[in-house]
Amino acid sequence: MVLTVSTPSSAEFLGLASEIGALRSEVWQSSGMKTSVNTGFGPTLDEWDQSAEHWLVYEDYRLVVSARLSTHWDLSELEYFEDYPPVPYNGGKIGYYGRLVVRRDMKDRRGVAAKIDQLRYEKAKERGCELVLAAVTPWRVANMLAAGYRNLGPIVFRDPSQHEDVHYVPNLMMRTC
């Protein structure tokens, strides 16, 4: 098994967008989620994809993991920020982990999310972020706590009808840089 981690430039991302979108769609559908997350940019892409930094993991030349880090100057720039629990934030650059997907049939899934989180954290520090935030599934909380993140609490969607396909309550995790 050959695992290759790639961080494509924004120009390279455009050439990989359909492959990344297909992986997101496959993983989300297998989880029972809709794939039309942000309309206007394609079924699985949104306005942050082109400016974000991406991590891609290939197993035997097949894309099996995709994740991104976007940077922001204000909480209001973040998706669903109004639904977040209080964030102890006094200004500065924010790193936001988004769109982590891992193909279910990847041969060795153990620890891959934590490794990608560590790479994203190091990049956020390098970019001058004051803190990083991530909305995560409940089954990732314990590992993130062990890695030094703080659980700020559940994200309670004000308009649940827009999130009917989400079968869990995501938690907002934070780590200062």
Listed by start position, the domains of the chain span: 3-176
Structure confidence by residue, pLDDT tens digits, 56-76: 998 888 899 999 999 999 999
pLDDT > 90 in the chain, percent: 33
Of 31, 177, 157, the C-alpha closest to 103 is 31
pLDDT at 119: 93
Q: What is the mean pLDDT of the chain?
A: 81
Say which range, 40-54, 55-69, 116-130, 134-148, has the weakest mean pLDDT: 40-54
Most confident of 13-17, 22-26, 107-111: 22-26
What integer is the mean pLDDT of 112-128? 93
d(CA 150, CA 133): 10
Residue owning tokens 């769109």: 99
Of 104, 168, 103, the C-alpha closest to 140 is 168
d(CA 108, CA 100): 16
pTM for this prediction: 0.83
Per-residue pLDDT at 22 exceeds 80: yes
Residues 6+ apart with CB under 8 A from 96: 69, 70, 71, 72, 78, 132, 133, 134
What integer is the mean pLDDT of 117-123? 94
The CA angle 75-81-86, to the nearest 5 degrees, is 80
Per-residue pLDDT at 136 exceeds 80: yes
Q: Which contacts (CB < 8 Å, 24+ apart) does range 42-49 have?
A: 42/17, 44/20, 45/17, 45/20, 45/21, 46/79, 48/98, 49/13, 49/17, 49/20, 49/99
d(CA 33, CA 7): 26
pLDDT at 166: 58
What integer is the mean pLDDT of 94-115? 85
d(CA 54, CA 74): 21
Question: Has domain 3-176 been given CATH number 1.10.15.40?
Answer: no
125 band by pLDDT with thresholds 50, 70 and 90: very high
39 band by pLDDT with thresholds 50, 70 and 90: very low
Per-residue pLDDT at 37 exceeds 60: no
In one-letter notation, the amino acid at residue 29 is Q
